[in-house]
Amino acid sequence: MADGKTALVTGGAGFIGSHMVDRLLELDYRVVILDDLSTGKIKNLNSKAVFHHTDITQPAMAEIIQREQPDLVFHMAAQTSVTQSTKDPIGDANANVLGTLRVLEASRRVGVEKIIYSCTGGALYGDPESVPCPDDAKITPVSPYGMSKWVAEQYLYFYYQQYRLHYTSLRYGNVYGPRQDPHGEAGVVAIFSQSMLEGKQPQIFGDGTQERDFVSVFDVVDANIAAIDNGDGKAMNIATGEATSVNRIFELLRSITEYKWDALHGPQRTGEVYRISLDWSRAATELEWSPKIGLEEGLRLTVDYFREFMDLAGNVSGSLGGHPGGSAAGNAASAG
Ligand SMILES: NC(=O)c1ccc[n+]([C@@H]2O[C@H](COP(=O)([O-])OP(=O)(O)OC[C@H]3O[C@@H](n4cnc5c(N)ncnc54)[C@H](O)[C@@H]3O)[C@@H](O)[C@H]2O)c1
């Protein structure tokens, strides 16, 4: 499939990007990673890929793209925190809008065949009028993060119209799975999994009835692969169409980890979408893609990863059935 091609993954040291790198290497692509390690991790880096420790907002990035001559670009590097985007909208736009523009400009100069962009579905439509929310629903982002991801998608369209730089924009639901950072603000699955395995009491913001569309990182990687040859010039949701409450995630993980205690409830966070799920019928038509990993299976894979990771690090303290120790771990259910 790779035919000696080079694939560039921006953000390839991150959660989704590192899985993307692994899959591309399995498919025999030569893989180049650009990452500034702001949230990505060295331990996520696949040693078979070429790694450049670079910030996509810096001009040096363009020289690297010039040298590496990628055929395909998977653009995943971004400022990904909704809260951070509210605190620092300029920093957010710098990474997500200007950084993307630099990647686009460098890509067109070297004649990249296609750019596949990691956009957001969860933060694009606000609280949609109906769920599952269709791909062509009104765009009403309620955070600077949602806006910057949306503006970047518009630039992809411009480069497609103006320069025939081919693209597909994939608008993800709440992606979860192995390697998600349990210390971030979002990633409720990772945060709960780690907390429960450590015997700490997870905190739920609000009453936990808020609902999200949880999609496995492995299904997201499949969608990116399917987009190499399909879905040109289009944007589409990549999700499950199912709305799952944070309380339900808590219960499922409690059963998988055999955690015995209840959640702590903190105040509701402002500016959060209350209920969303995403219709993925356009991806089904355009990419012949469908989500394959059911929620319980995906949660088990995630818990297995954290178990293994924590065992290796020797971090699991006390018995899982013991009383929750220490302070509550934070949690969030941001619509990524
Ligand atoms: N995780 C989700 O639920 C979700 C949902 C919708 C969209 N997305 C999008 O998917 C992509 C990957 O997200 P993730 O969850 O893997 O997050 P992540 O934070 O794990 O990955 C982002 C990566 O980009 C790198 N990065 C950030 N700014 C950079 C810069 N200026 N220059 C170079 N590298 C930079 C980080 O170091 C990190 O490795 C992002 O574009 C995000 O907006 C994620």
Three-state SS annotation for 94-131: HHHHHHHHHHHHHHHHCCCCEEEEEEECCCCCCCCCCC
> How much of the chain, in percent, has pLDDT values that exceed 70?
92
Ligand 1 pocket check for 100: Cβ under 6 Å: no
Ligand 1 pocket check for 277: Cβ under 6 Å: no
Question: What pLDDT was estimated at residue 183?
Answer: 81
Beta bridge partners of 178: none
202-227 average pLDDT score: 96
Question: What does the block give as tokens for 225?
Answer: 């692969």
C-alpha distances (whole Å) from 207 to each of 210, 247, 248, 263 are 8, 8, 12, 10
Question: For the chain, which domains are there?
Answer: 6-174+215-238 (3.40.50.720)
Question: What pLDDT was estimated at residue 2?
Answer: 87
Among the residue ranges 24-28, 148-152, 255-259, 323-327, the one predicted with the least confidence is 323-327
Residues 104-153 have pLDDT tens digits of 999 999 999 999 999 999 999 999 989 999 999 999 999 999 999 999 99
Question: What pLDDT was estimated at residue 214?
Answer: 98
- Output the average pLDDT for the chain: 91
* Cα-to-centroid distance, 11 and ligand 1 (Å): 6
Give the HSE-up count for residue 314: Cα atoms under 13 Å, Cβ half-sphere.
0
Residues 294-320 have pLDDT tens digits of 999 999 999 999 999 876 454 443 333
Residue nearest atom 11 of ligand 1, based on CA coordinates? 76
Distance CA 24, CA 185 (A): 28
Ligand 1 pocket check for 291: Cβ under 6 Å: no
Ligand 1 pocket check for 182: Cβ under 6 Å: no
Q: 228: closest CA among 287, 175, 280? A: 287
Ligand 1 pocket check for 12: Cβ under 6 Å: no
- Mutation to probe ligand 1, out of 76, 100, 151 (largest number of atoms < 8 A from CB): 76
Pairing of strands 114-120, 166-172: parallel
* Cα-to-centroid distance, 43 and ligand 1 (Å): 16
- For the chain, where are the E strands, in sequence order? 6-10, 30-35, 50-53, 72-75, 114-120, 166-172, 174-176, 203-205, 211-212, 214-216, 234-238, 244-245, 264-266
Residue of 100 and 327 predicted with greater confidence: 100
Question: What pLDDT was estimated at residue 268?
Answer: 83
Task: Give the pLDDT band of residue 336 (cuts 50, 70, 90).
Answer: low
Question: What pLDDT was estimated at residue 324?
Answer: 40
Question: Could you count the other beta carbons within 10 Å of the beta carbon of residue 142?
Answer: 19
* Cα-to-centroid distance, 80 and ligand 1 (Å): 5
Return the amino acid letter for 320.
L
Q: Is 3 helix (H, G, I), strand (E, B) or coil?
A: coil
Looking at the whole model, is its pTM more than 0.85?
A: yes
* Cα-to-centroid distance, 260 and ligand 1 (Å): 33
Point out the residues that are catalytic. Answer: 145
Ligand 1 atom closest to the Cα of residue 174 is 3
Ligand 1 pocket check for 144: Cβ under 6 Å: no
